[in-house]
Amino acid sequence: MGIFSFTKRIKYKDFTAINVDMHSHLIPGVDDGAKEVADSIQLISGLKELGYQTLYTTPHTLQDIHPNTHETLKKGYATLEGKLPQGINLQLSSEYYMDEQFINQLNEGTLLPMPGNRLLMEFSQISKPYDLEEVMFNLRIKGFQVVLAHPERYLFFHKHFDYYSRLKEMGLELQVNALSLTDHYGKGIRAIAEKLIEKDMIDFFGTDIHHIRHLPALKHVPESKFFTRLVDSGLLKNNTLNS
Ligand SMILES: [Fe+2]
């Protein structure tokens, strides 16, 4: 063993290489993220300190719990105008839950996609929606590119890892959560996140930040060898959103 074996070599000290965060809950009072403008500013300043410059923030649109519309989201976004830390570019999108309200907003043409007509989406963490493939097919036909939020958190996929390949075949892009590279959501979720990275299946990296208490945990994520692997893979598309 060489003398350097005990030295932990850290290649990335922060998130500068990722630059664009595309999953966060930074708009005050619209979901379970920031409550007040002051919380939003604290979270945004924290992300800036971690090395982020552009933030596509994605408050929940979830009919039964956070029934947001483009209007409620834009109104919340407007409350941050003129208050952002210098050098931060904050853009508005949403994390859409696959439900009836989503289909209505799709039909009305009132969704708030990211560049590339991308939609960050999630669905039930309890069971796979019976119409998942049909809805995803229809979104593709309509010209949307779906990014599945935190695929590692859907426990019913854990025993059917091959389904992640199926999701990719269906044209979905996969976004892993930064804190899934720690034990924040549990060891099972961490193991799946790491396996998805090892198999080069991840397209996007996001913080999914909701609370200020996520910041200290996020700070250590770049130390993970899976973070290094992901950044060095050249597969991350976060910067393609930076228009
Ligand atoms: Fe989220």
Distance 31 CA to ligand 1 centre (A): 10
Tell how far the Cα of 209 is from the centroid of ligand 1, in angstroms.
Answer: 7
Please tell me the distance between residue 7's alpha carbon and the centre of ligand 1 in angstroms.
35
Query: For position 1, what pLDDT does the model report?
Result: 47
Distance 56 CA to ligand 1 centre (A): 12
The pocket of ion ligand 1, defined by CB under 5 A, consists of 95, 208
Cα–ligand 1 centroid distance for 3 (angstroms): 43
Q: Ligand 1 centroid vs 200 CA: distance in angstroms?
A: 22
- What is the 3-class SS of the chain, one letter each residue? CCHHHHCCCCCCCCCCCCCEECCECCCCCCCCCCCCHHHHHHHHHHHHHCCCCEEEECCEEECCCECCCHHHHHHHHHCCCCCCCCCCEEEECCEEECCHHHHHHHHHCCCCCECCCEEEEECCCCCCCCCHHHHHHHHHHCCCEEEEECHHHCHHHHCCCHHHHHHHHCCCEEEEEHHHHCCCCCHHHHHHHHHHHHCCCCCEEECCECCCCHHHHHHCHHHCHHHHHHHHHCCCCHHHHCC
Task: Give the chain's residues under pLDDT 50.
Answer: 1
Residue 151 Cα to ligand 1 middle (Å)? 12
C-alpha 8 – ligand 1 centre gap (Å):
31
Distance from the CA of 198 to the center of ligand 1, in angstroms?
Answer: 23
Class at the top of the CATH hierarchy for domain 15-241? alpha beta
Question: Tell me, what's the pLDDT at 8?
Answer: 62
